[in-house]
C-alpha cells in the first residue's frame, strides 16, 4: 500500500497527489512552511492525512535553525502552528492534530529545545501510528455491513493517500473485498479535483479490486437501475448531531441514496467529530479557486473569466446517514446520543481544547 | 448569435465544438460521410442541430459526383441515409430529419438528379428555418414560466450550438433574460464532455447573461441553500408518456429538484417526441468510449486501463417533470394525454414513418 507521507528527521516527504496518476513524485520539505504549502495546494489531502502532515510539519519546524535562533521558542511554535492551521478550513483533524502537538510542545518546553524536538517527533509518529490502527479498526467494523456480492459506490479518495493507513471508507471497502463481499466498486470521478479518477481508481487498481469509474452525475442513474447496493464515503468534519461535512457531491449522493433506498454510510475516525459544532450549519465551507473548475492541467476547459462557484465541501444532514463507521464501532441514530457517548468514552475530546 | 452549421452548395461548414472555447474552427465537409463523421465525433451535437446537420449532409450527398455515377440513385441515397442514421442512437430528431429528407427525395426522384438536388437543398434549409422558428416559439412560451429575479439552473448545452436557432432551454433563458427576469444562470459543467463549461458558458458570456459555472455535483448543495428557483434543460428523445431521455445527469437533477421543491422544466421541439416509444424504458441509451472520461485533451486523468461506465444519456420519469416547453406551448401532466394531442395537432408525426 502506498504511503502519502514519510518522516525523517531531516525532511518530510510528501507524495505529490497533483501528479497522480501520471507520475509518482515526492516533494521533499525541510521547513514547516513547505509542509503547510503542500497542504494548502492539496499536494496532500484527505482529512486524516492532513492531520498527520500537519503534525509532522510541526515536528519538522522544531528542527529548523529558526527554532534555535528564535527569541521565544513558544512564540516560534505559535507562529508555525497558526500557519499550519490556516491551510484548510474544513477538516477538523487538522485542528485536532495541531492541538495534540501543542500539548506535547507545552509539556516538553520546560526541558528545552532538544526535549521539544524529541517530544514532537514522538507525538507526530504516534498520531500516524494511531491513524493506521484506526483505519484497520474502521475496516473491520464496516466490512460486516456490506452485503455479499455488493456493488459499492464511493466518492472522492479515502484510502492510503488520504490517511496514514488503509483509509476510512476505502479501508472498509478493502476489508470487505478481502472477505469476498465486494463484486464491484463504482468510483465517482469527483470533480473538480478528480480525487476519485486520479487517486481512488489508482489505489483500487493497485489492489486489484474490480471497479468502474463514472462521472459524478451518473450515480443517480446507476441507482435507478438498481446497480448500487451500498454507499460508503468519508468525512471532513462531523457535527455533534451527526451532520457531515465532506467532499462536494456527498450531499447530492445522500439525497439520491435516500430516494432509491440505498444504505448510505460515512466512515471516519472520531478525531473528525467536532463536538463544539452542534449542527452542520456551523461548519465553515472552504471555497477554492475558480481555475480548479475552468482549467485542467493548464488547459482551459471554460471561457476566460467566467464566474464560478467552487465549494470544496457540502453538508449532509444526519437524517440521510444510515450509520457512521468509526474505530470504536458503527454509530447509529440518534447521533446526538451515540456521537457524544463514543467521543467521551474514547477520550478523543482532548484535541478540541486548543482550536 | 453563433451558428453551429452553415450550408453552401459546395460544402457544409461545421463549427468544431470539440475545439471550443479555445478556438473557433470550422470543418469543411464536401461529402455526406464527412458530415456523418462530424456528428459521430460530436464536433456538432445537440438533438436539433444533429437533425439539421443530417439533413444538410444528405443534401450535400446528392451533389457528390458519386450520386451521378451510381447505378441506382435510390440505392445511393439509401446508403448515405443509413450511414447518417447510424451516427448517434439516442436523439430522435436525427431519425425525424432523415425521414423528412427521404420523403423529399422520393417525391423528386421521378424528375431526375437535378430535381432531387434542388428538393433536398430546399428541404434541409426548410428544416433549419423551422428549427429557428421553433426555438423562438419555445423561448416565448417558456419565458413566462420563469419567476422574476430568478436563479436558473441548466445542464449541458441547449443553445445556438445545439440548434439552428437560439436554442431549446437556452432559448427560454435568453428570452426570460431579455424580459429582465433572470438574475443568474447556474451552468452545470456537464461531465464528461463538458458541454456546459465549454459551450453554454461560452454562449452566455457572448450574450452578457450573468452566470456561475459549477461542477455537476454542486447542484444539490445549491438547491439545499435555496439558491435555485427554476431548472430548465433540453431533451434528446421524449416518450409518449413524457419520460425524457437527455444528457447524463438530467435524471439526478430531477431527483434533486423534486427533493427541494424546485420547478423542473424540459424544453424541446415536438420533433423530439417519439410516439412509438410508450415509455422511456424503450429508448436506446448510447454508451460512449472510456477515454471521454479517462482523458482530457489527450491528458490522462485516470489510471491506464481502468474500467469505465460512460452512458451519454439517462431517462427521467415523467413524474419528475413540471412541464415540457414546446413550440406549440407548455405541455402539462398527464403527458400521455397532452403529448399525443400536441403531436397530432402539429402534424409532426410524419417523420416517424421512416424510422
**B101 and B186 assigned to the same domain:** no
Decide if B308 and A213 are in contact by the 8 Å CB cutoff: yes
Q: What is the pLDDT of residue B351?
A: 42
pLDDT in tens, A8-49: 989 999 999 999 998 999 999 999 999 999 999 999 999 999
**A74 and A160 assigned to the same domain:** no
Q: What is the pLDDT of residue A299?
A: 87
Cα–Cα distance for residue pair A111/A122, rounded to 1 Å: 15
**B321 and B176 assigned to the same domain:** yes
Top-confidence residue, B89 or B255: B255
Cα–Cα distance for residue pair B249/A60, rounded to 1 Å: 46
pLDDT > 90: what percent of chain B?
92
**B178 and B281 assigned to the same domain:** yes
Say whether pLDDT at A301 is over 90.
yes
Mean pLDDT, range A67-86, rounded to an integer: 96
pLDDT in tens, A263-285: 999 999 999 999 999 999 999 99
Phi/psi zone of residue B200: left (φ > 0), alpha (ψ -120 to 50 degrees), beta? alpha
The CB density around residue A107, as the number of other CB atoms within 10 Å, is 13
Decide if B213 and A306 are in contact by the 8 Å CB cutoff: yes
| Owning domain of residue A160 | 138-346
Beta-strand pair B329-331/B323-326: antiparallel
Say whether pLDDT at A312 is over 80.
yes
Say whether pLDDT at B350 is over 80.
no
Q: What is the pLDDT of residue A313?
A: 96
Q: What is the pLDDT of residue A298?
A: 84
**B176 and B301 assigned to the same domain:** yes
**B98 and B207 assigned to the same domain:** no
Q: What total number of domains does chain A contain?
A: 2
pLDDT band at A70 (very low <50, low <70, confident <90, very high): very high
Say whether pLDDT at B349 is over 60.
no
| Cα diameter, chain B | 66
pLDDT in tens, B260-309: 999 999 999 999 999 999 999 999 999 999 999 999 878 899 999 999 99
**B143 and B272 assigned to the same domain:** yes
**A184 and A45 assigned to the same domain:** no
Asked if the structure places residue B355 within a domain, the reply is no
Chain A's closest residue to B155, CA to CA, is: A217
Cα angle vertex B285, ends B133, B314, to 5°?
75
Decide if A296 and B300 are in contact by the 8 Å CB cutoff: no
pLDDT band at B348 (very low <50, low <70, confident <90, very high): low
Helix locations, chain A, DSSP H:
32-40, 47-61, 65-69, 73-85, 92-108, 113-143, 169-178, 195, 201-207, 219-224, 250-260, 291-294, 335-346
Q: What is the pLDDT of residue A348?
A: 59
Cα–Cα distance for residue pair A152/B237, rounded to 1 Å: 31
Say whether pLDDT at A220 is over 60.
yes
The mean pLDDT of chain A is 95
pLDDT > 90: what percent of chain A?
92
Q: Which of B20, B195, B209, B220 to mutate to test the interface with A (most CBs of A within 10 A)?
A: B220
**B257 and B115 assigned to the same domain:** no
Decide if A218 and B306 are in contact by the 8 Å CB cutoff: no
Let me know if A236 is a catalytic residue: yes
The mean pLDDT of chain B is 95
Chain B's closest residue to A184, CA to CA, is: B307
Closest by CA to B50, choosing from B29, B64, B35, B62, is: B35
Which residues from A are below 8 Å from B231, CB to CB?
Answer: none
Nearest to B300 among A21, A192, A259 (CB): A21
Say whether pLDDT at A354 is over 90.
no
Show which of A113, A136, A159 is a domain's final residue: A136
Q: What is the pLDDT of residue B321?
A: 98
Task: Provide the whole-model pTM.
Answer: 0.93
Minimal C-alpha gap between A218 and chain B (Å): 6
Helix locations, A167-295, DSSP H:
169-178, 195, 201-207, 219-224, 250-260, 291-294
**A75 and A181 assigned to the same domain:** no
CA distances from B56 to A87, B17, B135 (A): 56, 18, 19
Show which of A136, A162, A195 is a domain's final residue: A136
pLDDT in tens, A324-339: 999 999 999 999 999 9
Asked if the structure places residue B354 within a domain, the reply is no
pLDDT in tens, B181-208: 999 999 999 999 999 999 999 999 999 9
Show which of A94, A116, A136 is a domain's final residue: A136
**A207 and A316 assigned to the same domain:** yes
pLDDT in tens, A104-124: 999 999 999 999 999 999 999
Q: Residue B120's domain is classified under what CATH number? A: 1.20.120.420
Asked if the structure places residue A355 within a domain, the reply is no
Q: Residue B287's domain is classified under what CATH number? A: 3.40.50.10470
pLDDT in tens, B27-76: 999 999 999 999 999 999 999 999 999 999 999 999 999 999 999 999 99
Q: Which of A221, A254, A262, A279 to mutate to test the interface with B (most CBs of B within 10 A)?
A: A221
Cα–Cα distance for residue pair A222/A37, rounded to 1 Å: 38
Asked if the structure places residue B308 within a domain, the reply is yes
**B275 and B285 assigned to the same domain:** yes
Amino acid at each position: 500500500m502506498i504511503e502519502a507521507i514519510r518522516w525523517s528527521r531531516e525532511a518530510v516527504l510528501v507524495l505529490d497527489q497533483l501528479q497522480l496518476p501520471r507520475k509518482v513524485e515526492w516533494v521533499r520539505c525541510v521547513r514547516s512552511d513547505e509542509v503547510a504549502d503542500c497542504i494548502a495546494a492539496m499536494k496532500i489531502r484527505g482529512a486524516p492525512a492532513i492531520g498527520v502532515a500537519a503534525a509532522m510539519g510541526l515536528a519538522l519546524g522544531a528542527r529548523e535553525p529558526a527554532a534555535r535562533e528564535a527569541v521565544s521558542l513558544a512564540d516560534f511554535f505559535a507562529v508555525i502552528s497558526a500557519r499550519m492551521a490556516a491551510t484548510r478550513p474544513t477538516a477538523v483533524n487538522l485542528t485536532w492534530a495541531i492541538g495534540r502537538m501543542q500539548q506535547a510542545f507545552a509539556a516538553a518546553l520546560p526541558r528545552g529545545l532538544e526535549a521539544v524536538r524529541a517530544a514532537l517527533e514522538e507525538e507526530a509518529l504516534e498520531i500516524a501510528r494511531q491513524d493506521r490502527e484506526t483505519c484497520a479498526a474502521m475496516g473491520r467494523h464496516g466490512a460486516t455491513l456490506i452485503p455479499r456480492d455488493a456493488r459499492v459506490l464511493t466518492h472522492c479518495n479515502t484510502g492510503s493517500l488520504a490517511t496514514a493507513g488503509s483509509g476510512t471508507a476505502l479501508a472498509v471497502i478493502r476489508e470487505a473485498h478481502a472477505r469476498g463481499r465486494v463484486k464491484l466498486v463504482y468510483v465517482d470521478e469527483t470533480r473538480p479535483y478528480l480525487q476519485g479518477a486520479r487517486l481512488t481508481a489508482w489505489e483500487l487498481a493497485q489492489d486489484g479490486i474490480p471497479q468502474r469509474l463514472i462521472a459524478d452525475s451518473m450515480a443517480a442513474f446507476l441507482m435507478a437501475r438498481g446497480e448500487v447496493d451500498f454507499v460508503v464515503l468519508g468525512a471532513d468534519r462531523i457535527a455533534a448531531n451527526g451532520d457531515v461535512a465532506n467532499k462536494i457531491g456527498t450531499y447530492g449522493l445522500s439525497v439520491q441514496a435516500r430516494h432509491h433506498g440505498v444504505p448510505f454510510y460515512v466512515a471516519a475516525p472520531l478525531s473528525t467529530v467536532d463536538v463544539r459544532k452542534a449542527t452542520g450549519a456551523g461548519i465553515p465551507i472552504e471555497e477554492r479557486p475558480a481555475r480548479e473548475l475552468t482549467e485542467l492541467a493548464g488547459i482551459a476547459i471554460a471561457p476566460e473569466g467566467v464566474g464560478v462557484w467552487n465549494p470544496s465541501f457540502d453538508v449532509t444532514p444526519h437524517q440521510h446517514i444510515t450509520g457512521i463507521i468509526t474505530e470504536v464501532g458503527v454509530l447509529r441514530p440518534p447521533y446526538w446520543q451515540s456521537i457524544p457517548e463514543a467521543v467521551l468514552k474514547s477520550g478523543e475530546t482532548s484535541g478540541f481544547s486548543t482550536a
